[in-house]
Amino acid sequence: MAATDYTRSIMQPLALTMGEPAGIGAEIAAGAWSALRAGGPAFFLIDDATRPFGVPIQAIAASEDATAVFPHALPVLHRRLPAVPVPGRPDPANAGAVIAAIAEAVELTKSGRAGAVVTNPIQKSVLTAAGFKHPGHTEYLGEIAGTGVPPVMMLASEELRVVPVTVHEALARAIARLTPEMIVETARITAAALRDQFGIARPRLAVAGLNPHAGEAGTMGREDIDIVAPAVAVLRADGIDARGPLPPDTMFTALARPTYDAAICLYHDQALIPIKTLDMAGGVNVTLGLSIVRTSPDHGTALDIAGTGRADPSSLIAAIRLAATLAAARGTA
């Protein structure tokens, strides 16, 4: 979809959350507005409008005001922060406002007053210290915008889509609790999203093995025989085009990637290392299985460069564009 098409296809602006106030969220929001102001998609930022953004901003009273403001200023739905943010130095006093911005963006989208949610990166350690009970965005969104299925994290770029079955937990625990049922459930949600949101009529799934060489017929562990292969058999019996277990060291090569639409990976780094290596700037985090569309940049808060002007908004721009496309396909925009 060309940039000039967004203003015609997206009826409601997208809701962008502040993320960690001491991180690069404000900088990349400003950069995204500068890149998208002419053709959209329009978005508004839930943040403190008294902060310096380095671009023209306009405080808005309601999300409905954002579209008219967007061509000439970054629309900010003003929510004052308890503590003045200092770049690179997160303040637990602002944790409540960070969480509230996520919740408000979700409510605006569920009520039809925003087209989708795009979240800036959060500093999980700060939120946890302030009493946040969730490992990250994905799990929290599953609680407040769930559909009865576990939320599934997809990382998407032009070259690759990956979906980890287990996400924010220690590797030893992830492997210990991995079951065929978990793989099947994740793959089914992924296949449905590829059909309904990405417009792929018959999705092709590549399921990664757990062990080197996918276990080498059991000589390097039986997990691929006992856990992964049975899951693939169930998926194929369901009519889903799934292959695996595939050796993880070859399934992400340039020759292999065009043979599938998404890779089902068994743990966090197995999924995120290849996509971040291929396209760190353009990768987008998409949460599947929600009642709304949610995307996010494929990077963290970058506290080390916050306030320096070096933050790259490319991943946020990609996240905003993909959110608009998915919302339009879903008919929620």
Given pLDDT bands bounded at 50, 70 and 90, which one contains residue 219?
A: confident
Mean pLDDT, to the nearest integer, of 142-169? 92
Mean pLDDT, to the nearest integer, of 141-160? 92
191 with 139, same domain: the answer is no
- Return the pLDDT at 2: 35
66 with 167, same domain: the answer is no
Binding site residue list = 137-138, 168, 213, 268, 276, 285, 294
140 with 188, same domain: the answer is no
CB atoms within 10 A of CB 307: 18
265 with 296, same domain: the answer is no
The number of distinct structural domains making up the chain is: 2
Binding site residue list for a divalent metal cation = 168, 213, 268
Mean pLDDT, to the nearest integer, of 299-315? 93
* φ/ψ bin of 240: left (φ > 0), alpha (ψ from -120 to 50), beta (otherwise): beta
267 with 190, same domain: the answer is yes
In the chain, the percentage of residues whose pLDDT exceeds 70 is 96
Place of tokens 């959110």: 323
Average pLDDT score, the chain:
92
Does residue 4 register a pLDDT over 80?
no
CATH of the domain at 178: 3.40.718.10
293 with 324, same domain: the answer is yes
- Could you list the residue range(s) of the whole structural domain that residue 10 is in? 1-150+282-333
Give the model confidence (pLDDT) of 266-300 as tens digits. Answer: 999 999 999 999 998 888 999 999 999 999 998 89
8 with 143, same domain: the answer is yes
- Return the pLDDT at 108: 97
Give the model confidence (pLDDT) of 12-31 as tens digits. Answer: 999 999 999 999 999 999 99
Place of tokens 């000039």: 4
Q: Which residue, 247, 264, 281, sits at the end of a domain? A: 281
Binding site residue list for substrate = 137-138, 276, 285, 294
Does residue 11 register a pLDDT over 80?
no
Please tell me the distance from the alpha carbon of residue 186 to that of residue 166, in angstroms, as a whole number.
9
Q: Taking the model in full, what pTM does it have?
A: 0.89
Does residue 160 register a pLDDT over 50?
yes
